[in-house]
Amino acid sequence: VKKLLLIGIGAGHPDHVTIQAIKALNQVDVFFVMDKGPDARDLTAARRQICERYIEGSAYRFVEIPDPRRDRVSPAYREAVDDWRRQRTDLYEQLIDDQLGTDGCGGFLLWGDPSLYDGTIQIVEDILARGNSDFDYEVIPGITSVQALTAQHRITLNRVGRPVQITTGRLLAEGFPAEADDVVVMLDNGHGLQTMVGPDLDIYWGAYLGTPDELLVAGPLEEVAGEIEQLRQEAKTRKGWIMDTYLLRRRPRH
Ligand SMILES: C[S@@+](CC[C@H](N)C(=O)[O-])C[C@H]1O[C@@H](n2cnc3c(N)ncnc32)[C@H](O)[C@@H]1O
């Protein structure tokens, strides 16, 4: 039967790729890559470099597909995301059908780890639930951007015996989670952080983690928020895109 491998490739540093991922890369006949436009070309190039570096031989190919555009202006966020996901599901189903032979192996190179803010596992499950395709699939874990962030700042993710919350910039903009003291924020277009400047938070911020463009800032949020905003703007102008992650840590109350 056909097989799909959903391979976590780490957050940007080629050395994040695990030995399990390298073994998986070497089984793949066809890599499916979504082309998300010019801002993500660097990420596609990084994926190709990983393949060139770790795959022995050249008996594999890349299929690049334009990613369905998500309606980013629609006020109905949930519906827009559902619609976009349905289009992606159709597309992936067709690719598996068209591009893989009876015993072919398809691969998705997923940034960080496939379990964290990545829709591919759900899409693959949706395809299987439709019942038109027959294939097995495996998930290969990867180093997340959260782990890359904490390692570069040399901090622990949680404080002793305490929980951690992972959220998005969109949700953070609605307020700092009431019950949480340590919050990791991903997928922030800058707006979430701008709403946060308050007196009792420390921030550990990282952009382009694991890559030569990596940027790191840490300190009391009220002191470093301006610097982070400026670095974000400059980097976005220079490169055309930015990926950043940060940990907000409430200072202990006395
Ligand atoms: C769609 S999510 C994918 C997360 C990924 N699955 C992971 O495990 O890290 C994209 C978000 O991950 C974060 N991210 C991914 N790679 C990053 C990197 N190299 N540096 C900083 N943030 C990164 C950013 O918050 C970005 O908005």
What is the per-residue pLDDT for 105? 97
The radius of gyration of the chain's CA atoms, rounded to the nearest angstrom, is: 20
What is the per-residue pLDDT for 197? 77
Number of the ligand 1 atom closest to the C-alpha atom of 114: 6
Distance in angstroms (rounded) separating the CA atoms of residues 197 and 251:
13
What is the per-residue pLDDT for 79? 85
What is the per-residue pLDDT for 83? 87
Residue 21 CA to chain centroid, in angstroms? 16
Name the residue with the closest Cα to ligand 1, atom 7: 112
What is the per-residue pLDDT for 37? 64
Half-sphere exposure of residue 155, counting CA atoms within 13 Å on the CB side? 22
Residue from 231, 243, 248 to probe ligand 1 pocket by mutation (most atoms less than 8 Å from CB): 243
For residue 109, report the distance from its CA to the centre of ligand 1, in Å.
14
Task: Write the pLDDT tens digit of every residue in 2-21.
Answer: 999 999 999 999 999 999 99
For residue 10, report the distance from its CA to the centre of ligand 1, in Å.
9
What is the per-residue pLDDT for 254? 65
For residue 138, report the distance from its CA to the centre of ligand 1, in Å.
21
At 109, list the tokens: 């190179």
Report residues of the chain scoring pLDDT below 50: none
**Are residues 187 and 145 in contact, defined by beta-carbon separation less than 8 angstroms?**
no
For residue 165, report the distance from its CA to the centre of ligand 1, in Å.
16
Residue with tokens 């966020």: 77
**Which residues lie with the beta carbon below 6 Å from any ligand 1 atom?**
11-12, 111-113, 116-118, 144-145, 186-187, 206-210, 243-245
Number of the ligand 1 atom closest to the C-alpha atom of 187: 27
**Are residues 239 and 38 in contact, defined by beta-carbon separation less than 8 angstroms?**
no
Task: Write the pLDDT tens digit of every residue in 63-110.
Answer: 988 777 776 677 787 888 888 889 989 999 999 999 999 999 999 999
